[in-house]
Amino acid sequence: MNYIEQAFSVLHDWWRYLVGLIVIFIFWQVIGMIPLLIFLGIEVVNGADIAAVSDMTQMSSLLGNNLFLFLMLFSFAVGLVGIILSSKLLHKQSFLNLTTARPKIDWKRFWFVFIIWGVFSIGTTFLSYYLAPEDYVFNLNLKPFIILCVIVILFIPLQTSFEEYLMRGYLMQGFGVILKNRWAPLLITSIIFGLLHGLNPEVEKLGPIMMVFYIGTGLLLGIMTLMDDGLELALGFHAANNIFTALLVTSDWSALQTDALFTSIADPTEMAVSEIVAPVLIVYPILLFILSKKYGWTNWKEKLTGKVIEPTKEDYKIIE
């Protein structure tokens, strides 16, 4: 039984997924945001401009990069709890069933893609610095950077896991068993993933072309999940991408305001379209090719666009 089809073995009525999304949203954007709102409220009471609490960059300056980052990541950690509870209570679904079609979670897969993308991220960052040092300021401040490392290592995997369990897990399985195909869940979750990131400051600075990158990244993660019948690769890639981004480079217009090693001072409006599109059209296909050879992926058309068929009672007996 593949990753989507195994959701038929749990309670999968459409209304359960709707209620689950409401619960997840409450955990993520209501309960999870309470600490951030408290700290911002204290600053406003102490005289801060109330307009500053409506802009991510100004909020980061108001509270400090590390505190703001922690409070933002905390909301995702609470949201992850919401996903687990919704899956368990509404669907009677185990964490393993939500994660993979394998008998147990394959952490070797997680670490394989994590290391590959981590090495790639570090390598391309330092290559970019070498080729255009005028675009960067090296601003290592040891104490804030050490605090940043602790926050990033502990909480960014929770943030990326929230996004993967929501998009490629909960919603991918939900749309799959409701629509009974694979291509629609892949496209729908990728578009939703892109739209959610469309609120990031990068889109305002770089324009709608950034949506190609975000939706393309969603497609990459969705393809990984469907071809590999589990979230392990998507979890590893996403964690590596966000961890090394947070630690290596920041800018005054990016979503992640951190005390990173480098600050990019390049004009974002002069960034070539190829720099945004190249990862989606060149780097991502190469990564998928490497993973396909490593894990022996075959039958791509069926796994990405085929029907989702509810197993019969006889099928369940065979599985048992």
Question: What distances in angstroms separate CA 245 from CA 10, 148, 237, 255, 314, one per listed residue?
Answer: 37, 12, 12, 11, 48
pLDDT at position 122 over 80: yes
**pLDDT above 80: residue 317:** no
Q: What is the pLDDT of residues 141-151, one digit of tens each?
A: 999 999 999 99
Strands 136-138 and 262-264: antiparallel
Distance, CA of 35 to CA of 37 (rounded, Å): 5
Cα–Cα distance for residue pair 94/29, rounded to 1 Å: 24
Q: What is the pLDDT of residues 24-70, one digit of tens each?
A: 999 999 999 999 999 999 988 888 877 767 777 788 888 999 999 99
Structure tokens at 220: 């990459």
Q: What is the DSSP letter of 307?
A: B
Closest CA to 299 of 230, 228, 232: 228
pLDDT score, position 200: 80
Q: Which residues of 62-77 are buried (b: 16+ CB within 10 A; e: fewer)?
A: bbebbbbbbbbbbbbb
- Per cent of the chain over pLDDT 90 is 75
**What residues have CB less than 8 Å from 132, skipping those under 6 apart?**
266
SS3 category, 209: coil
pLDDT digits (tens, 9 = 90+) for 242-273: 999 999 999 877 777 789 999 988 877 666 67
Tokens of 143: 């104490």
Which tops the pLDDT comparison, 3 or 318? 3
Residue 153 C-beta-side C-alpha neighbours within 13 Å: 6
Q: 262-264 and 249-250: which strand pairing?
A: parallel
Query: Taking 60 as the threshold, does the pLDDT of residue 235 lie above it?
Result: yes
Name the token pair of 88: 């368990």
For all residues of the chain together, what is the average pLDDT?
91
